Amino acid sequence: MTAFTSRMEQVQAPIIPVIGELIRQHPGTISLGQGVVSYGPPTQAIMRISDCLQDPENHKYKAVQGIAPLLEIIAHKLQTENKIAVDAHAQVVVTAGSNMGFMNALLAITQPGDEIILQTPYYFNHEMAIATASCKAICIPTDDHYQLRLSAIEAAITDRTRAIVTISPNNPTGAVYPPEDLAAVNRLCRDRNLYHISDEAYEYFTYGQAQHVSPATFDLAGKHTISLFSLSKAYGFAGWRIGYMVIPAHLMTAVKKIQDTILICPPVVSQYAALGALEAGRDYCQDHLNQIALVHQQALSTLDSVHDLCSIPQPDGAFYVFLKVNTELNAMALVERLIKEHGVAVIPGDTFGTEKGCYLRVAYGALDKDQVAEGMGRLTKGLRVVL
């Protein structure tokens, strides 16, 4: 066959499977890599699967947008928890995870060659999706505390810019953006006729005084704000692949076309499980979140011992710490040594767009107190030995 160039050659390879293979090659390695929690869905989610299977109609295609009872409970959750009204102007689409929601949004609002502004360090799947859509990621470095640089964001806007993306609480840094900064981004999008894509997958994961806010609640935000949510994290639902997006009504036709082409409809059995999870509600998540908060504090306390080797800005959300390591070593080379010589796995920062310096993303959401003590102990000891 004649060789040809595919657009996928411009898309970075996902790093998680690479690290996973290294872990498999070195049994006993503690993973501080993939961003998952240790617990699974509530009992109500499992019970709802039985309801799904009892109706033979559920083996057929369902509505592209999502099943009616799930849309209804999502609308109630958005109104009561996020203060987002679902009405004729803002509508919900159930997706196969919030990554799909992001791709739906991109394809609905762009043409090839358009630009999307990301904050660096960025979530690698967002950058990959932009490249897949034949668009261009414009990457704006955050400040030394991984907070937004509003003037730099505004300066990056061109006539090809279509959206500004924010993730708060943030993957990979754990930063939580102040409401006033998110409001400033949202106003900028309104004034410059852009979309504000707000990824809120970690909305429940905040610590101390930090608070999550949904930009769609700001004044006049409804017509230009796309909000992405996920059950994967807080409900231990990663493998079920259910998320949802809140979009301006004028995008609904385009998003339905995209979703029907790629998926037809979200997996019906997963939608029923999601219905049960949301019926259990945030109360189910809270006990687990309280435990993760303790692990969060324990992880940071252990990392205090390597402050002379690393820069560690305070993470107030999600379940990540993003370290800047004071070394000339390549990040992937450091990751490989930590796995092979010290039995602990983290993710190299260059996959998140950090082109200069050695950065590591450390994830602790899947660990209990004993595991995080051992994992962080191996990491800090390994850094001392290697560096």
Task: For each of the domains in the chain, give its residue range(s) and CATH number, in order of start.
Answer: 7-36+283-386 (3.90.1150.10), 43-280 (3.40.640.10)
Please give the structure tokens belonging to residue 136: 């261009």
- Decide if 280 contacts 44 (C-beta within 8 A): yes
pLDDT on residue 6: 85
What pLDDT is recorded for position 2? 66
How far apart CA 49 and CA 244 sit, in angstroms, is 19
Element at 70 (helix H, strand E): helix 68-77
Four-CA torsion 138, 110, 15, 263, nearest 10 degrees: 170
Tens of pLDDT along the chain (387 residues) come to: 566 778 898 899 999 999 999 999 999 999 999 899 999 999 999 999 999 999 999 999 999 999 999 999 999 999 999 999 999 899 999 999 999 999 999 999 999 999 999 999 999 999 999 999 999 999 999 999 999 999 999 999 999 999 999 999 999 999 999 999 999 999 999 999 999 999 999 999 999 999 999 999 999 999 999 999 999 999 999 999 999 999 999 999 999 999 999 999 999 999 999 999 999 999 999 999 999 999 999 999 999 999 999 999 999 999 999 999 999 999 999 999 999 999 999 999 999 999 889 999 999 999 988 899 999 999 999 999 998
Read out DSSP for 134-147?
A: T-EEEEEE--TTS-
